Amino acid sequence: MNNYSNTRRPSYIKERKKRRVRRIIMLIVLITVLILVLFKKDIKNIFNPHTKTPTLSETDNNEKNVENGNNATATENNNDGNKENITENAQGSNEPTKQTGTTNETESNNSESTNTEATAKIIDGYNFSEPVPASDAVEETYFDDAVFIGNSRTEGVMLYSHPSKSTSYTHKGLMVNTIFTKPYINDNGTKITVIDAIKKAEFKKIYIMLGINETGWVSTDTFIEKYEEIVDAVKESHPDAIIYIQSILPVTAKLSSTHSYVKNSKIAEYNTRIAKMAEEKQVYYVNVAESVMDKNGCLYDDAAVDGIHLKKPYCEKWVEYLTTHTTEKIK
């Protein structure tokens, strides 16, 4: 028995040492993993020396690019061997754009584009991105060679506060599409469209207000597209005229909350788009709505019997605003 024990003892001791070593190794591994987890280290980066860990400056730049909405650009070769930039935007969509020159050429093109946009906004000192600013009041004779185009709201102002010698082409329900299609205007016993009537006469100032009847349209883009056609047609027939595009007047808060589609929120949306259109077309945007609205952007409660069509005192406010917001034609 003693001989057997003496024989097995070295082997037993050796086995115990192996188990102890294995336990120590496992303990070291566990501690290492725990440390890595606590400090959020990337094990792959640690054990792979060829993997590049982004520096602090690179991370900051990436975060700034995301905050600024910059696009990440990858370059691929197409079948023709030309380089093609694939721009990955914030939504993850890819838009291919041909690379036509060097970085310097691209920067030059971008600079030219920026300068063009700036020129489009400010011409001869006039900023088309802003409404016509307040000016000294003009005499009533200023409107002698003017025409007012609009729906029943403009009919009202022509009835109650009509500048004596001005012309008006108006009709109840007139819209940006029917101005081309409906024969509303009497021309020596014949009915013609508003746009044809404009083409047949000479005017130095052209005032347009349309949109209240179109607030029920599904597409704002369609409304603006038709409005742009009006501006283009008027500019073509009267290249030397001052074209004033008036903002749509709001309605009362009560009517806005009860009407099925005439809402002040929609009117405000339309006015934003109309102002942008005026800037792009380089015509004059007159924010006449501010002359009859309260601090909440609604028509004053006492301004209209039905919440839409102005009473005489507010028609007079409208015309008074126009007399103090005029400009000279920019050549």
pLDDT tens per residue across span 230-278: 999 999 999 999 999 999 999 999 999 999 999 999 999 999 999 999 9
Please tell me the pTM assigned to this model.
0.65
Q: What does the block give as tokens for 49?
A: 């020396």
Q: What is the mean pLDDT of residues 14-31?
A: 82
Q: What's residue 317's pLDDT?
A: 97
Q: What's residue 29's pLDDT?
A: 84
Query: Considering only CA atoms, which of 219, 215, 327 is closest in space to residue 282?
Result: 327
CATH classification for the domain delimited by 135-323, as one of 3.40.50.880, 3.40.50.1110, 1.10.1200.10, 1.10.3860.10: 3.40.50.1110
Residue 17 has pLDDT above 70, yes or no: yes
Q: What's residue 84's pLDDT?
A: 33
Q: What's residue 189's pLDDT?
A: 94
Task: Indicate the average pLDDT of the chain.
Answer: 79
Distance CA 138, CA 135 (A): 9
Q: What's residue 15's pLDDT?
A: 77
Angle at 194 between CA 179 and CA 187, to 5 degrees: 150
Distance CA 299, CA 264 (A): 9
Distance CA 211, CA 171 (A): 13
E strand residue ranges, the chain = 72-77, 83-88, 94-98, 122-123, 126-127, 146-150, 167-170, 185-187, 190-192, 205-209, 242-246, 284-286
Residues with Cβ within 8 Å of residue 179, at least 6 apart in sequence = 149, 193, 194, 195, 210, 230
- Taking only the tens place, the pLDDT of each residue in 202-232 is 999 999 999 999 999 999 999 999 999 999 9
Helix, coil or strand: residue 277: helix
Which whole-number Å values give the CA distances from 128 to 191, 267, 281, 330, in the listed order? 36, 21, 9, 11
